[in-house]
Amino acid sequence: MVQYRKIILGDPLETEAVVEQPEAEQWEEAGGLPGFLLGREKKILRYRMRDSQLVYGLGETVRGINKRGWKYISDCSDETNHTEDRNSLYAAQNFLLIFDEQGAQALFVDTPGRVIFDIGFTHAASLEITLDELDAAFYYAEGSDPLELIREFRRIIGPSYLPPKWAFGYGQSRWGYKNEQDIRRVVEGYEKAGIPLDMVYLDIDYMDHFKDFTVDSEAFPDLPGFVREMKEKGIHLIPIIDAGVKIEEGYPVYEEGVKEGYFCKKEDGEEFRTAVWPGLVHFPDVLNDKAREWFGNQYRTLLDMGIDGFWNDMNEPTLFYTEEHLEEVFRRLEELRGQEMDIWKFFEFGDLTGSISSRAEDYRTFYHDFRGRKVRHDKVHNLYGYYMTRAAAEAFRRLAPDREILLFSRSSYVGMHRYGGVWTGDNKSWWSHLLLNLQQLPALNMCGFLYSGADTGGFGSDCTEDLMMRWVELSMFTPLFRNHAALGTRVQELYRFEELAPDFANLIRLRHALIPYLYEQFVRAREQNDLLFTPLALAYPSDRRVRTVEDQLLLGDALMIAPVYIQNAVGRYVYLPEPMTLCRFRSVTDYDRLELPAGDHYIDLALNEVAIFVRPGHTLEVTGDTISIR
Ligand code: MIG
């Protein structure tokens, strides 16, 4: 049995990431953290990595499953370029697993401020963890089996969120569906093409002037009626909720929040103001128990209309600009205008306007009332998305204890996995992002985030039909399966790719046929604190070849997946650590089977073909249009 030790440095804030608390030891009396040295400046922990050690974890970040060779910064960010040179995305999931044949160590750095994980970036063999604040709780364990360390970590952070079963269906989303008619057209498009559809997402356009918990009454004159109409077709409508509350006289959420003092405040006690989609907003202080309860209660407006699912956005929290900073920018621009423009001033001109959003300086100008302490935002920044989502989940338990409600968020911290899932934010219609999603899944699972998935087809940029097809061939295995795209990009509803629509229909039906397995494995992973997606290096520890396999995953205990993620490829190499049965599906009923020995194989996979590998000791049976996997 492995056990986590809790080692405390300084005086950390309680984040409630961990629910089963081990007894705490102070850093000094514990003799520090085994294997880690505390730097002289006291904010850096150093660990020397052996060449043979792999480093996994960190949840939703860029790059591969093995995190060695880059610097990652836990600093929840609205980052729209998920390129390999980025350091931060939306989440802070500070869990690391360091392992090789000689053993494994796991470390969770529990601190709500910024943390830098330099994993062989500055020095190839050196793992350096830099903390903004000296106050942190470290949860540390070692053992021989890395999977056991993950399981025990999951046990102490508590059970993962369980979504309703229907949330394992397929959903369509797009920023820009403006009204009932738009949505009816999408639903009709799917119906005509014979492609099943289970959810349609409502982006910010459904609201009245982007005001949370309001509905544009011209676009949706009778939302409850429309919700019923859609439900009769088996379709759930899932609206978005943003973090910022619009400043507007007469808007009850704003007025009540001000009256009760539930918004984040500046040093002088005035409400902090910033601009996001609705224009000027206040941020609800979801870190404060009372304010959180109040904000959660607001979801009732939509619950009462029959809505049973939500996605929480902009909760890093993102800010477009503050009025104070905008003033400064204008002042400096005026100054520049009076001078002769040289090349440096020209660059400054661009920088002045190009970098006004989500500035670190702005995050230092407002405060939370957290556990009876006035805490500056930057010190608890990484908790905001977690606590906003927790606000909703706790409210659902109070307001609708008998209903199952879908909930997921963009920003997250460990602990939020108990309250909702995550989607991986604004990716692009790039082949590299298809692979990136595969690589993020196991790391998300390690931190308890089982209900997750990417914007299928890519959010930004234009999607091509072959990318969509290959992406569906990955997302059909992820619990959260949603096609979503940004305003202004090429339309990418599956039926828009007319020639391939029959193939898409087959794949979505295949997904439906896999739901019993996916759901059963999800529940099992949740109850046994297991991964749903397991990297091969964790499952076959004695096979040296799998240490570098970054494009295949085990799914549950019976299957392995290996999607195609290269354009124009009509197949791929797959490495089998043990003999497996390849089932190559074109539809639920049209498939072939091949017994393959362990080793390397090139597998032909036409654009409409999905490979599912069945592990020894397990079976996959197709009867009619059901698939049973044991
Ligand atoms: O600033 O609501 O990640 O899914 O479509 C963009 C509009 C705000 C970001 C989300 C995306 C959503 C978009 N939102």
Categorise residue 549: left if φ over 0, alpha if ψ from -120 to 50, beta otherwise. beta
Q: How confident is the model at residue 6 (pLDDT cuts 50, 70, 90)?
A: very high
Closest residue by Cα to residue 395 from 530, 257, 302: 302
Q: Which atom of ligand 1 is nearest to the CA of 242?
A: 2
**Scanning the structure block, which residue is given the tokens 């602990």?**
415
Extract the runs of DSSP E, i.e. beta strands, from 321-478: 367-370, 373-376, 406-409, 412-413, 421-423, 452-453, 455-456
Predicted confidence (pLDDT) per residue in 73-95, tens digit = 999 999 999 999 999 999 999 99
What pLDDT, on a 0 to 100 scale, did the predictor assign at position 534? 98
Q: How many whole angstroms from 214 Cα to the centroid of ligand 1?
A: 18
Mean pLDDT for 528-556 is 98
Tell me the CA distances in angstroms from 219 to 136, 177, 278, 436, one per residue in order. 48, 10, 17, 37
Q: Which atom of ligand 1 is nearest to the CA of 174?
A: 5
Going from N- to C-terminal start, the domains of the chain cover 5-157, 166-318+376-511, 324-354, 520-629
Class of domain 520-629: mainly beta
Q: Does the pLDDT at position 41 exceed 90? A: no
What pLDDT, on a 0 to 100 scale, did the predictor assign at position 276? 98
Report yes or no: 453 and 424 within 8 Å, Cβ to Cβ. Answer: yes
Predicted confidence (pLDDT) per residue in 478-523, tens digit = 999 999 999 999 999 999 999 999 999 999 999 999 999 999 999 9
Report yes or no: 481 and 169 within 8 Å, Cβ to Cβ. Answer: yes
What angle separates helix 431-446 from helix 146-157, to the nearest 10 degrees? 70
Q: How confident is the model at residue 398 (pLDDT cuts 50, 70, 90)?
A: very high
Q: How many whole angstroms from 84 Cα to the centroid of ligand 1?
A: 21
Mean pLDDT for 261-282 is 98
Mean pLDDT for 562-576 is 98
Q: Are 5-157 and 520-629 in the same CATH fold?
A: yes
Predicted confidence (pLDDT) per residue in 155-187, tens digit = 999 999 999 999 999 999 999 999 999 999 999
Q: How many whole angstroms from 313 Cα to the centroid of ligand 1?
A: 7
204 ligand 1 Cβ < 6 A: yes
Q: Does the pLDDT at position 133 exceed 90? A: no
| Distance of alpha carbon 143 from alpha carbon 224, whole angstroms | 54
Protein residue with its CA nearest to atom 5 in ligand 1: 175
What pLDDT, on a 0 to 100 scale, did the predictor assign at position 187? 98
212 ligand 1 Cβ < 6 A: no
Q: Does the pLDDT at position 613 exceed 90? A: yes
Q: How many whole angstroms from 605 Cα to the centroid of ligand 1?
A: 34
Closest residue by Cα to residue 200 from 230, 241, 166, 245: 230
Q: How many whole angstroms from 319 Cα to the centroid of ligand 1?
A: 13
Mean pLDDT for 279-287 is 98
The CATH architecture to which 166-318+376-511 belongs is Alpha-Beta Barrel (3.20)
In the numeric block, which tokens belong to residue 511? 């997904």
Looking at the DSSP bridge assignments, the partners of residue 7 are 25, 138
**Scanning the structure block, which residue is given the tokens 């309860």?**
293
**Statement: the pTM of the whole predicted model exceeds 0.95:** yes
What pLDDT, on a 0 to 100 scale, did the predictor assign at position 2? 96
426 ligand 1 Cβ < 6 A: yes
Predicted confidence (pLDDT) per residue in 432-486, tens digit = 999 999 999 999 999 999 999 999 999 999 999 999 999 999 999 999 999 999 9
482 ligand 1 Cβ < 6 A: no
What pLDDT, on a 0 to 100 scale, did the predictor assign at position 495? 98
Q: What is the CATH number of domain 5-157?
A: 2.60.40.1760
275 ligand 1 Cβ < 6 A: no
Pocket probe for ligand 1: among 175, 318, 412, the residue whose CB has the most ligand atoms within 8 Å is: 175
Cis peptide before 616 (omega within 30 of 0): no
In the numeric block, which tokens belong to residue 328? 């400064």
Cα–chain-centroid distance for residue 551?
19
Average pLDDT value for the chain = 97
What pLDDT, on a 0 to 100 scale, did the predictor assign at position 338? 87
Query: For residue 168, which amino acid is it?
Result: F
79 ligand 1 Cβ < 6 A: no
Cα–Cα–Cα angle for 308, 445, 174, nearest 5°? 45
203 ligand 1 Cβ < 6 A: yes
Q: Does the pLDDT at position 119 exceed 90? A: yes
| Distance of alpha carbon 16 from alpha carbon 256, whole angstroms | 28
313 ligand 1 Cβ < 6 A: yes
| Distance of alpha carbon 625 from alpha carbon 264, whole angstroms | 53
Q: Which atom of ligand 1 is nearest to the CA of 484?
A: 4
Predicted confidence (pLDDT) per residue in 135-161, tens digit = 999 999 999 999 999 999 999 999 999
What pLDDT, on a 0 to 100 scale, did the predictor assign at position 134? 84
% the chain with pLDDT above 90: 98
Q: Does the pLDDT at position 99 exceed 90? A: yes
Residues whose CB falls within 8 Å of the CB of residue 280, separated by 6 or more in sequence, listed in order = 246, 247, 273, 274, 323
Q: Which atom of ligand 1 is nearest to the CA of 203?
A: 2
Residue 37, H or E segment = strand 37-38
Pocket probe for ligand 1: among 424, 426, 429, the residue whose CB has the most ligand atoms within 8 Å is: 426
% the chain with pLDDT above 70: 100
